[in-house]
A and B are shown apart, each in its own frame.
Chain A
Amino acid sequence: MIPPAAAARAVEAPSFSTSRFRAEREADWIAFDLLLTKLEKKGAKALTSDELLQLPLLYRATLSSLSIARATSLDKALLDHLEALSIRGYFLVYGVRESRWNRLRRFFLYDWPAAVRSVWKETLIIALVILLGALTSYSLVSSNPEWYFNFVDEEMSGGRDPRATAEFLQTTLGHGKAAAGKGESGLHVFATYLFTHNSQVSILSFALGFAFGVPTMMLEYYQGIGLGAMIAVFSAKGLGFDFGGWLFIHGTTELFAAALSGAAGLRIGTAVVFPGARGRLQAASDAGRTAGKVMVGVILMLFAAGLLEGFGRQLITDTMLRYAIGSLMLLFWIAYYYIPRREDVT
């Protein structure tokens, strides 16, 4: 049925055969695969110096095999394997970063302050927004205490409203005997609660930034409103100075962190609206990376604020001392962020 000559021609293998190609190079791929698995499982430290030298060689050999296979082979399993291996190898070979410790050190020494420094305009704007909120509600509540109930939730205030007596307000500041007695045992629980709650709010105010920064500003304005209303209530009863101390001890850290989270959100919002010479996507991702660093810092700051609020404020009842600690914290943050460094890499 088949002419013998034609049959012989069809079976005859061409001088370059993909099977031969594979047989020659297969050992490299298997070695590369094993090396990558080891690298993934145990890290770069587990590799001997011989293996480390082999890594880029095998990587390039695999990439070259992939190029050849794509041009010559139709073996799907082989192509898929080489493609997956190359992708895996690329990200491991080029993704090797500095050690964890180094990265941490750089973050605290340079990256974090640099990121915060670079959003100084946004920080200023958010600080003004918070201040504006506080002033609005302060003047409104001062002129007419009824306004208070529009600003502060009944449940949140816990009786701290214009109808309360000066004595009661005094106890909420941790001066009276009653407050000191009941607070003692649950301090750390309280501090932890404050920290996790505030962190969630900050993350939200950051995340809302991409909607052109408007929700972020609203959230921060709202924070200022609650603050101003409270101050108005306390100062009307002549407790303004004491309340200031009660707020100041952790408030400098917490409000600073709140302003920074808002600033991070605003940075993204403005980058999306006004990308400048870059593409919109590029601008958004540049802003996002800066904002990401700021946000890690914000969470750490809020942790400090939670400690100050939960422990410091409840254990230290002297108003002057509270002011002192609050100012010290503020000075520390300002110095940490805004004093220029020598090895400055943004």
Chain B
Amino acid sequence: MTAAANAKQRTARAKKIRQFVTPEGVDLELRIASAGLRFGALLVDLILIVLALFLFSLLMLWMGLASQSDVTVVVWMLGAFVLRTFWFIGFELGSRAATPGKRLMGIRVVARDGGRLTADAVVARNLIRELEIFLPLMMLGVGASEDMVSGWTMLAGVLWSLTLSLFLLFNRDRMRMGDLIAGTWVVMAQRAKLDADIAVDAAGDAMAFTEAELAVYGIFELQELERVLRGRDPRAMREVADAIRAKIGRPVAEEDDVFLFSYYRQLKARLERKLLFGKRREDKYASD
């Protein structure tokens, strides 16, 4: 990890953040969901739809055999249509604006202008999905069924339709064709549990460090240390403790967790104090 790599990571993260100011004047800093998460959510949803359809078909088959009437065929066809067309619309109209796949990935749909997500926007973005998913498949199907269409023509058709489907890869905001038309975004919305405040841990005051010993690290390292402390994996803690000891030139004298908690607490207090004076030291490469 070098200074350049750190800075690059930070700008990459900043690129995903969109300003989203609430009426109270607080910027919520929404993060655009990555294409991978979107694809994962779609995959989960498709699997769930197929699964639901399969169970529904079994039920209808059983009822059809039992009742000897073709009403079940009608129910099955209508059910399949509703499932396919309204799965996404129905879930996204809910209060969490996310299908089960999206919930699992921790993402949700948001109106781009910051207003409320309206039903017509949800309908528009999901009817376009029909095209994005099925056009490439249709192109394949047409190409395969008609002999006169050469392989190259088919390939051209599939590629053309794929550029529509993969539209979200070609813009910064990761908007699908449907998002573009409905005026929506898909942003991160994972939950984060309120973890205990480890800075007030009892072990925090066991040791004292000098200014010079604390001056070696910045915010990035502090938050990495926090991650390790919250993880409570003894092996990782040992490694980190050894690295810090080597850096500040302390002998191995205390338990790892005692050492790390004290160091974390005092480093955090120091950096936060600087923060109050408007000095934000991003990482150890930045000047103190």
Once A30-B194, A288-B182 are accepted as A-B contacts, the answer to whether A203 and B73 lie under 8 Å apart by CB is: no
Contact code string A232-267 (vs B, CB < 8 Å = 1, else 0): 000000000000000000000000000000000000
A63 to B28, CA, bound (A): 9
A26 touches B181 (CB 8 A): no
A281 to B173, CA, bound (A): 12
A residues in contact with B193, CB < 8 Å: 81
The verdict on A53 contacting chain B, using a C-beta distance below 8 Å, is no
Whole-angstrom distance from the CB of B241 to the nearest CB of chain A?
A: 18
Residue of B nearest to A14 (CB): B273
Which of A66-74, A121-129, A322-330, A336-344 is near enough to bind chain B? A66-74
A73 touches B110 (CB 8 A): no
A80 to B190, CA, bound (A): 10
Contact code string A278-303 (vs B, CB < 8 Å = 1, else 0): 00011011111111110110010000
Contact code string A127-142 (vs B, CB < 8 Å = 1, else 0): 0000000000000000
A52 to B26, CA, bound (A): 22
Residue of B nearest to A208 (CB): B131
Contact code string A188-231 (vs B, CB < 8 Å = 1, else 0): 11011101100110011011101100000000000000000000
Contact code string B109-150 (vs A, CB < 8 Å = 1, else 0): 010100011111111110110110010000000000000000
Which of B4-12, B46-54, B207-215 is near enough to bind chain A? B207-215
A196 to B73, CA, bound (A): 13
A208 to B273, CA, bound (A): 58
The verdict on B276 contacting chain A, using a C-beta distance below 8 Å, is yes
Which DSSP category, helix, strand, loop or mixed, fits chain A's interface? helix
A285 touches B272 (CB 8 A): no
Which of B36-44, B55-63, B151-159, B219-227 is near enough to bind chain A? B219-227
State which size class the interface on A falls in: 35 or more
Selected contact of A6 from candidates B80, B190, B211, CB within 8 Å = B211
A210 touches B181 (CB 8 A): yes
Task: With A189-B73, A207-B128, A288-B124 given, name 15 new contacts (CB 8 A).
Answer: A10-B270, A11-B205, A74-B223, A77-B230, A81-B193, A95-B95, A115-B120, A193-B77, A199-B85, A206-B127, A288-B120, A288-B182, A290-B120, A295-B127, A296-B120
CB<8 Å pairs between A and B, sample of 6: A17-B269, A74-B271, A86-B28, A210-B181, A281-B112, A292-B120
| B residues in contact (CB < 8 Å) with A | 22-24, 26, 28-30, 70-71, 73-74, 77-78, 80-81, 85, 95-97, 108, 110, 112, 116-125, 127-128, 130-131, 134, 164, 177, 180-184, 189-195, 197, 199-200, 205, 208-211, 214, 219, 222-223, 226-227, 230, 266, 268-273, 275-276
- Name the 10 nearest CB pairs between A and B, nearest first: A285-B183, A292-B124, A288-B181, A207-B131, A7-B208, A292-B120, A292-B123, A80-B192, A288-B124, A77-B195
| A residues in contact (CB < 8 Å) with B | 2-3, 6-8, 10-11, 13-14, 16-19, 22-23, 26, 29-30, 33, 39-40, 43, 60, 63-64, 66-67, 71-78, 80-81, 83-88, 90-92, 94-95, 97, 103, 107, 111, 115, 185-186, 188-189, 191-193, 195-196, 199-200, 203-204, 206-208, 210-211, 268, 281-282, 284-293, 295-296, 299
